[in-house]
Structure 1
Amino acid sequence: MKRKNMLAGLGLCLMLAIAGCGGNNTANTENAANSGNGAANATNAPASEAPAAQDSYKIAISQYVEHPSLDATREGFLAALKDAGLVEGENLTVDLQNAQADQSNNLAVAQKIAGDKNDLVLAIATPSAQAVVQEVDKNTPILFAAVTDPLDAKLVSDLAHPGGNVSGASDTNPESITRLMQFIAAQFPNVKKLGLIINEGEPNAVVMSGIAKEELDKHGIELVKAPITNTSEVKQAAESLVGRVDAFYITLDNSVVSGVDAIIQTANDNKIPFFSADRDTVEKGAFATVGFKYYDHGYQVGEMAVEVLKNGTSPGDMEVKMQEKLDLILNLKAAEAQGIEVTDAMKAEVSDTASSIIQ
């Protein structure tokens, strides 16, 4: 993975995206790149023809795993369709498939979707998006959500002008990571080592940890990794960091987020501040993040889907989007459980105190 190239692409596209949640093996990544839907052929793929007026629509959703952020993404997506008059059970049929964080299931889900006729396919998380782009016909519109780095995942070759039949939204803004690391450095002077539970098989986690490390290095804080390969190892990884680090941190790492209850429990039992990369985990029991609501992220992609379904817009003509509105989010109950004194200086960094300070 070329992080410098990724960051350069982000800068050129006004920080449009880096992408969500998930990993894939090298073979799948290469297949995605060589697919008729991949970046290598994106600019040569024909734009989808504008659909004729329809009384009803059928869409398929491939979701990599169930956890609060991805579930909220799906709910926001469907809410946007409903607000535009596309209602499941009335004029909209939704085929929801969940891979349960298993790569074999993930590929099988994509192949099943490819064998059906859909007006649009939504892929939630990087592994789902890579498999869908690899398997689904290039004439079927594809949107992705909860993807950390669409360029590195080879879903598109240009964030501003994707081309082909693929577009969507990234769930990461590099500024959210650097701002959180700066908050830790400024407000937690006793944190000299930050423990990161991570599945390095998920490219998005690697990208985000690299950005975090770069900022932490500026403040003399060491990033200590506790690697896992699946969700069942999260508890042991968190416990292995006790006594070795001063705080916990996790990225948008599907395997880790799916087992986050164990991290929260370990943090609370040992009075260790716990920082996350997403709001949903803070609402669940981490102390702080700089982020946004995944429901809003999904709603944003849902609005893109409405353009595709009702107006015949080609995904290739739609820029890859991202969340620009970021805020520091604090959970005061989590602070108490983790032995954190929430100061006025911390609260002063929150812009929207009504919604971003969780009581």
Structure 2
Amino acid sequence: MKKLMLLLAIIGMAVLAACGSDDTSGSDGTASEGGDTYTIGATQIVEHPSLDAAYEGFQDALEDAGLDVEYDFQSAQNDQNNVKPISDGFVADGVDLIFANSTPSALGALQATSDIPILFTSVTDAVDAGLVPSMDEAGENITGVVDLHPDQIGATVEFISTYFDGAKVGMLYNAGEQNSVKQVETVKEAAEGTGLEVVERTVANSSEVQQAANTLVGEADIFYIITDNTVVSALESVVGVANDQDIPLFVGEPDSLAKGGFATFGIDYHTIGYRTGEMAAEILTGEKSPNDIPAEYPPEIQLFINKQGAEEQGVEWNADWDDTAQFIE
């Protein structure tokens, strides 16, 4: 009888253990996605505030979706030679999804795999870069959210033309960044017929930025730094020249205002990262595949101004801006 009771006790404990293993609810009582843990390879060309904010938004969206995610984050340290090997490593490790945060990172991921889903953001022109066929059609294993609103550069150029009529616009960028070349072309097109003149300098790495900015002194009335990863990663150098020489500094996104820029029509990078994360959640849970989700533009743009930057760069304040701008310190 004792042996029978012992056997029944063991069976009972096994049954309870089995029931416990089926309980996939979290500590807050919310059911997780079948207890699955997903691995995401996350990469960006360089670490700077805009890209970092997009990555944070991406993570926030997946957390809000209730997914259990492990991240393997790797920065290319602004070295194009590091881009594809990072994605090759993700493929070798068999990650569930790649988050590619910048145009070079997205291109490297697409070259590395045609099977693993790729979600991009902080990409200026996904079509011109060859990531998707059109903004109405995703690639087979890639989609995401671009960081350039169709009206963003045009609005900035119009603002410059209105309040700095006839100015020579100094632009610094890395000609090796496809997104930057596209933006400079767009600026030139928007400036046609306005009286503005674009003066260019190119750099190959961030160590060249300050010297290139200095060569624009005397030739440029204002600076306009687009979302070029190389220049933005060394933006403090441009800010120093702009402040010393009283040259108004326009930038490509609001995060650069906090570093000392004067004004921009920009977007919220956390927002585009968050939307990309929502797409990733749909893909990871099997609700959709990447080619079910067309690439998207940012939802809206806003005029942002840094008043301290304006003062340090000798900008004559216009009362119109008090009613139209969002101010950043």
TM-score by length of 2: 0.87
- Alignment of 1:357 with 2:322, yes or no, is no
Which amino acid counterpart does residue 171 of structure 1 have in structure 2? Answer: D
Instruction: State the secondary structure of the residue aligned to 1:243.
Output: coil
Alignment partner, residue 36 of structure 1:
none
Alignment partner, residue 244 of structure 2:
269
TM-aligned CA deviation for residue 349 of structure 1: 3.0
Query: Alignment length, in residue pairs?
Result: 297
1:174–1:211 Cα contact (<8 Å) kept:
no
- Alignment of 1:342 with 2:317, yes or no, is yes
Question: Which whole-Å CA distance do the structure 1 matches of 2:81 and 2:220 have between them?
Answer: 35
Q: 1:121 aligns with which of 87, 93, 98?
A: 98
Alignment partner, residue 141 of structure 2:
165
Instruction: State the secondary structure of the residue aligned to 1:152.
Output: coil
Question: Which whole-Å CA distance do the structure 2 matches of 1:106 and 1:55 have between them?
Answer: 29
Q: 2:81 aligns with which of 92, 95, 104?
A: 104
Q: Which runs of 4+ in 1 moved over 6 A?
A: none
- Alignment of 1:73 with 2:54, yes or no, is yes
Instruction: State the secondary structure of the residue aligned to 2:316.
Output: coil
Alignment partner, residue 234 of structure 1:
209
Instruction: State the secondary structure of the residue aligned to 2:123.
Output: strand
Alignment partner, residue 267 of structure 2:
292
Alignment partner, residue 329 of structure 1:
304
Question: Which whole-Å CA distance do the structure 1 matches of 2:197 and 2:66 have between them?
Answer: 51
TM-aligned CA deviation for residue 85 of structure 1: 1.4
TM-aligned CA deviation for residue 145 of structure 1: 0.7
- Alignment of 1:220 with 2:201, yes or no, is no
Equivalent residues in 2 for 1:120-199, closer than 5 Å: 120-136=97-113, 138-189=114-165, 191-199=166-174
TM-aligned CA deviation for residue 348 of structure 1: 3.2
2:84–2:111 Cα contact (<8 Å) kept:
no
Identity %: 41
TM-score by length of 1: 0.80
Instruction: State the secondary structure of the residue aligned to 2:119.
Output: strand
Which amino acid counterpart does residue 158 of structure 1 have in structure 2? Answer: S
CA RMSD of aligned residues (A): 1.4
2:97–2:118 Cα contact (<8 Å) kept:
yes
TM-aligned CA deviation for residue 312 of structure 1: 3.2
My pick for the range that moved more, 304-313 or 121-130, is 304-313
Alignment partner, residue 63 of structure 1:
44
TM-aligned CA deviation for residue 341 of structure 1: 2.3
- Alignment of 1:314 with 2:314, yes or no, is no
Higher alpha-carbon Rg = 2
Gaps of 5+ in 1: 1-51, 351-355
| Partner deviation per Cα, 1:118-142 (whole Å, 9 max, x = no partner) | 1111101111100111112x22111
| Partner deviation per Cα, 1:141-168 (whole Å, 9 max, x = no partner) | 1111111111111111132221411101
1:69–1:294 Cα contact (<8 Å) kept:
yes
| Partner deviation per Cα, 1:82-104 (whole Å, 9 max, x = no partner) | 11113xxxx32101011111122
Which amino acid counterpart does residue 149 of structure 2 have in structure 1? Answer: N
| Structure 1 residues 319 and 54, CA gap change in structure 2 (3 angstroms) | farther
